[in-house]
Amino acid sequence: MWAFLQRFSSPRYFYSLSQPISRWLGGICLLLMLTGLYYGLFKAPPDYQQGDSYRIMFIHVPAAWMSMFVYMVMAISGAIGLIWRIKLADVIAASSAPLGASFTFLALVTGSLWGKPMWGAWWVWDARLTSELILLFLYFGVMALNSAIEDKRIAARASAILALVGVVNIPIIHYSVVWWNTLHQGSTITKLDAPSIHIDMLIPLLLMAFAFKFYYFSVVLMRARCEVLEREKNSTWVQELVASR
């Protein structure tokens, strides 16, 4: 396993292997998303209080989960690149930032659309909403550093440090509804006793959550392939690849 990871971390090997993996992941994502949307929009029963307006949950909740998940992937990849100087880790971190920002923005927008009929306002300075907004700014900061610094190695170090500092915001987002009295509802799925959500709603929600994850892995591999070519453009194997085409 370790030998495979070492070989996979080679830019040349990663470039050749990532394309078929990305296609398979994309196909699984499409299947899961279509199934999840069908069951979420047409098969799941209306909520006894919110009616059909709760169905935005099938986009909002997976997007919110992914906003934190991608950030942790980005921070861990940045730490690996910072400590062990593995090029591919820097590539994954840089490729993840725009995707994480997109998930965070989607979570904020869908949360606003859901909050208007429930709370009577598009936005409130709720602990979870505010910490999620800070997460979006952290993503923007990492993206800005990667774009502003021409030396990719220095940019990777600077963005990795920022990402690692920002990790403190992740538990704040997760536990904000426990630590403070907020408008945002508490956890209904990750409760220790049992999820307080109907099984007909839980299944499509989990399907959409897995669909979002497969989407991320598929797209981050595609973005990483482009990033590898950009960073390795002066290497022999890239020049041979270009010449062969």
pLDDT 10s digits, 39-91: 999 999 998 888 898 999 999 999 999 999 999 999 999 999 999 999 999 99
Please report which confidence band the pLDDT of residue 192 belongs to, taking 50, 70 and 90 as the band edges. very low
The answer to whether residue 177 is domain-embedded is yes
String of b and e for 31-49 (b: at least 16 CB within 10 Å)?
ebbebbbebbeeebeeeee
Whether residue 36 contacts residue 208, with contact meaning beta carbons closer than 8 Å, is answered with yes
Domain presence at residue 238: no
**Most confidently predicted of 105-119, 168-182, 214-228:** 214-228
In a domain, 163, yes or no: yes
**Residue 243: band (very low, low, confident or very high) from pLDDT cuts 50, 70, 90:** confident
Q: List the domain range (segments joined by +) for residue 132.
A: 55-232
Residue 46 lies in a domain: no
Contact 219, 21 (CB under 8 A): no
* Confidence class for position 188, pLDDT limits 50, 70, 90: low
Q: For residues 156 and 134, give the distance between their C-alpha atoms in angstroms, rounded to a whole number.
A: 21
Whether residue 43 lies inside any domain: the answer is no
| Average pLDDT score, the chain | 91
Write the CB contacts of 186 (distance below 8 Å, at least 6 apart in sequence): 177, 178
**Residue 18: its pLDDT value, please?**
93
Cα 75 from Cα 168, distance rounded (Å): 11
**163 is written with which tokens?**
């990402």
Asked whether residue 190 is domain-assigned, the answer is: yes
Number of domains in the chain: 1
pTM here is 0.93
Q: How many CA atoms lie within 13 A of 87 on its CB side?
A: 18
Residue 35 lies in a domain: no
Higher pLDDT, 86 or 180: 86
pLDDT of residue 186: 64
Q: How far apart are CA 209 and CA 186, in angstroms?
A: 18
The more confident residue out of 209 and 186 is 209
- Residue 5 maps to a domain: no
Local confidence band at 241 (pLDDT 50, 70, 90 cut-offs): confident
